[in-house]
Amino acid sequence: QVHVVESGGGLVQPGGSLRLSCAASGSIFSFMGWYRQAPGKQRERVAILSSGGNVYYADSVKGRFTIVRGNDKDTIVLQMNSLKPEDTAVYYCQTGTIGGYVYWGQGTPVTVSS
């Protein structure tokens, strides 16, 4: 059984930083990444890290967010710097297995406000 667990998030002032972590277990994963969904908007892809080391960033976060492997197996970290109010959203971790299945975490809220 696949489990995807997120941690981090919370309230931060504009210009601040937050760190999100995601740990997956129960399968062999070909990629892990982050999506976000703001109120009233569609879920959008933020950053993806493949098992081969390829990285994708949405244009809106390039230069501010960094996705890296965590210290533990099948974990990733999203370091978010220079946060803006428009980064406010629920952030979801997504993982994809080599068998082609996709799994989601429960989501963690990020609020950027003064």
What's at 23, amino acid-wise?
A
pLDDT of residue 28: 84
pLDDT tens digits in sequence order for the chain, 114 residues long: 899 999 999 999 999 999 999 999 888 899 999 999 999 999 999 999 999 999 999 999 999 999 999 988 899 999 999 999 999 999 999 999 988 899 999 999 999 999
pLDDT of residue 103: 96
- Give the whole-angstrom CA distance, residue 103 versus residue 95: 5
pLDDT of residue 67: 97
Q: Is 113 helix (H, G, I), strand (E, B) or coil?
A: coil
pLDDT of residue 71: 87
Q: What is the CA radius of gyration of the chain?
A: 13
- Give the whole-angstrom CA distance, residue 40 versus residue 24: 28
pLDDT of residue 98: 87
pLDDT of residue 42: 97
- Give the whole-angstrom CA distance, residue 14 versus residue 53: 30
